[in-house]
Structure 1
Amino acid sequence: MNAADLAAWIRHSAELVSADAERLTRLDAAIGDGDHGHNLDRGFRAAAGALPEDAPPGKVLIAAGRAIVSKTGGASGPLYGTALRRAGKALGDAGDVDAAALGAALRAALDGVRDLGKAAEGDKTMVDALAPAVAAYEAALADGADLAGCVRAAAGAAARGAEDTVPMQARKGRASYLGPRSVGHMDPGASSTALLLRGLADVTGEG
């Protein structure tokens, strides 16, 4: 992958989030503030408009992360912004991103989300989609899969992880205030995380 590919991912993610904003907001209305989809839509639109030209891949992600923090309300802005900035920093100034480098960037993104949100798997948050996605990516890489294959594995694991939040009781965020009433609802952050990884799979699969 190169900078153009990662910029294409951010733009495609903006399109996917915009198309799915109402569903994400409905998910959030059930157990949160009811603004996740619209907030994320605003943030990714800003990110798509803030992508630098003639910059290495890492700088593309850092710029997108900064825009998301600036324009996205609620908890999702800092979390997604941190994820993208940490991923960008992990890539450094390299001009091309191979499968190992992208895996390291995704691991850095997960670490950033965990550091900021203090959430673990099972807490019913975006970590429940992102952590299995990173694990699946790393397992596929260890098995010799190419970059696109690793991303497909990650996207599939993220989708399953989001579904797995439905029977969980939330232990973090506003949803945790509901206690047992949070059971039976998909976590909106896990759902949007799965959406973004699906977008990455779409972009890497085009090659």
Structure 2
Amino acid sequence: MINSRETVKANDKSRVFAITGTPGVGKTSVAEMLRSRGYTVYSFNELAKKLDCIIDYEDECAVVDLEKLNTMLNMMFSPEGTVVVEGHLSHHIADTAIVLRCNPIQLKERLLKRGWKYEKVMENVEAELIDSILVEALEMCERVYEIDTTEKSVEEVAKAIISIIEGDIENEIYKPGNVDWISELEEKIDEIIRL
């Protein structure tokens, strides 16, 4: 949770890419792969803690002062560099959002295996089903891409992200709206929402 719905971005000259999405879609795994390939990748949550930008906790979620975080990032990031920030709120501070998506049925299984409370699992499954993070990213970022991670390996997702960062892709491949869980899973909605 954050304290503002407004977009706060790092230095306009920097290229800040967010790897965002509902918890469980593969953000952290992909971030680790990008780090191993030499990219500078920051965790949104770790940055907020390190830069003392957490102002409160609500329901076990940090409330982040985005304005302060943005100010700190402007001092920290090179004005001409490319920075990747990973986390389900990272699109709040980015120029470009790469929204990772996962089939809600598989997402539900992943989160239950992690031992999450059923209520929290269903909250996140619903958010994925209705494109919650994608909609936020579209409202807040200059450029938005969408990658369905359901049938892809971490390696494949990392390659897709690198192609976006490096500008080596056709815009249509990962354009927002390519993933539509409601239409695709219309017949299975009951299965998704019950245990």
> Which has the higher relative contact order, 1 or 2, with Cα contacts under 8 A spaced 6 or more apart?
2
TM-score, length basis structure 1: 0.30
TM-score, length basis structure 2: 0.31
More helix by share: 1
Q: Which has the larger radius of gyration?
A: 2
More strand by share: 2
